[in-house]
Amino acid sequence: TDFRSMKLERFEIVLDNSENAYFAGQEVTGKIIIEAPEPKKINEILLELKGRCRTSWTKHSGKSRKHCNSSEPYFLEQLNTMYTHKFTEDDGKDRILPSGLHEIPFSYTLPKSLPSSFEGDHGFVRYTCRAICERPWDFDIVSRTAFTVVGIEDINSDPVLCEPTSMAESNQTVAALCWKASGSVQAELSLSKSGYTAGELIEAVAKVQNNSNKGRKVCLKLTQHAIYKAKTFAGHEQTKITKKQIVRKELGEVSAHSSFDAPIERLRLPALPPRLGRCKSILISYTVDLEVEATVTVCIPITIGTIPLLADLLTHSKQSVVKNGITNGPPHKLSMLGDDSIVQVTITDEDGQTHTEDDAMSNELDALLSARKRVRMPSSILSELYPTMPSPYYRESYFGAVDISDEKESVQFGESQFAPKYPFYTD
């Protein structure tokens, strides 16, 4: 029999978590499933889990082109499942996988300090799992799947994010504080807080004083700002900045020589990538912008995290709190753990080089991770951190799916399209 030409009916990686989404520090479990219609010569079945950030673009100046790129490894775990060893032939040379269905379980605990999955115009933070059937004297057969990692970005760790914030701008610098200056346009924007998670409502109050001779349209916007960092072949640092309008709401027009005082305006945050706190090559930030046509724009920076403000959540989920018999006391704060708040992460990059990275984590996260043996349910990493917090549900990224196929590797099985998912805590 020519074992080499036989095709596999099915070769896939199935993760036990149906959302294919995990918080940093969680255990990823799943199985490799192989369906062979006939016996097949396979030396080894290998598994590779990889997390990395990559940025790349081409810079054109005149006739010259410069390629800019960077790679930031988070982990590269390669495991031999040893599954084929029991099928070794009597001569000790060949291993022949019998026909039928084969399931090979695996598990891997993610490092605690990973940034969230992100797919952008000039770079990505991506987590993949590859299974490889290594064949003698023939091409390997490869199956690959991508999964979402949600980095722990806790809004509660920065008190400023819970506080109301406001900003004013004028199109005449001298008259910035004088609302009556002739011809001037002033605008003021106030937000109830500046820290959010995906799915929340941003509540904004807009005021405009138009002392010019022309009516002007007013709008409220949510903008994403991304900064990508890379190096040229010669090692020179380069940056690329993109701006994307996510939400836009027209507030009407403010007439000449009149004022405009809008009631509370609400913008719903879609499934957007949070800040990538532990990524050095890609910076993601957001602003809420009040724009007065052709004159002035007020921008307030906001932070999108992955662990919501507990004070807000407690008011949102009083029913569930009562149902679970938890009193409406202040949010549970975990006690200090001395000097154990330094977590050492060992990283193996794509060249096999090992780096260690000291990462000072928040005390809450550290206490959570020390209690990791109590973590059972996929979302209980959060219930350990904040017992009063409901489990999140996940929505696919607002930006949709992207092509994650890599021209450098040949993959025969698995999806080439992937959309990261982000956690929602409110309906």
Asked whether residue 142 falls in the same domain as residue 282, the answer is: no
Asked whether residue 176 falls in the same domain as residue 144, the answer is: no
Determine the pLDDT at residue 371: 39
Asked whether residue 68 falls in the same domain as residue 168, the answer is: no
As for how many domains the chain has, the answer is: 2
Last residue of a domain, one of 242, 272, 305: 305
Determine the pLDDT at residue 64: 86
Last residue of a domain, one of 305, 325, 358: 305
Asked whether residue 111 falls in the same domain as residue 171, the answer is: no
Tell me whether residue 59 is in a domain: yes
Model pLDDT for residues 158-173, shown as the tens digit of each residue: 989 999 999 999 887 5
Relative to beta strand 201-210, strand 265-268 is antiparallel
Confidence grade of residue 74 (pLDDT, cut at 50, 70, 90): very high
Asked whether residue 36 falls in the same domain as residue 173, the answer is: no
- Sheet of 10-15, strands arranged across: 10-15, 27-36, 100-109
Tell me whether residue 337 is in a domain: no
Asked whether residue 162 falls in the same domain as residue 59, the answer is: no
Tell me whether residue 345 is in a domain: no
For the cut 60, the answer to whether the pLDDT of residue 354 exceeds it is: no
Asked whether residue 173 falls in the same domain as residue 286, the answer is: yes
Tell me whether residue 289 is in a domain: yes
User: What does pTM read for this prediction?
Assistant: 0.81
Please tell me the distance from the alpha carbon of residue 229 to that of residue 227, in angstroms, as a whole number. Answer: 7
Q: Which DSSP category does 37 fall into?
A: S
Tell me whether residue 374 is in a domain: no
For the cut 70, the answer to whether the pLDDT of residue 388 exceeds it is: no
Asked whether residue 204 falls in the same domain as residue 274, the answer is: yes
At CA 22, angle to CA 152 and CA 314, rounded to 5?
Answer: 55
Q: What is the mean pLDDT of residues 218-246?
A: 95
Tell me whether residue 80 is in a domain: yes
- Whole-number Cα distances in Å, 274 to 182, 374, 415: 42, 27, 25
Please tell me the distance from the alpha carbon of residue 150 to that of residue 320, in angstroms, as a whole number. Answer: 24
Confidence grade of residue 316 (pLDDT, cut at 50, 70, 90): low
Asked whether residue 37 falls in the same domain as residue 26, the answer is: yes
For the cut 50, the answer to whether the pLDDT of residue 193 exceeds it is: yes
Range(s) of the domain holding residue 147:
10-152+397-424
Give the CA dihedral 328, 329, 331, 335, nearest 10 degrees. -140
Asked whether residue 183 falls in the same domain as residue 135, the answer is: no
Determine the pLDDT at residue 182: 60
| DSSP element (H, E) containing 79 | strand 64-80
Determine the pLDDT at residue 359: 42
CB 328 within 8 A of CB 321: yes
Confidence grade of residue 137 (pLDDT, cut at 50, 70, 90): confident
Asked whether residue 160 falls in the same domain as residue 301, the answer is: yes
Asked whether residue 120 falls in the same domain as residue 198, the answer is: no
Residue 75's domain is classified under what CATH number?
2.60.40.640
Determine the pLDDT at residue 177: 52
CB within 8 Å of 333: residues ≥ 6 apart: 364
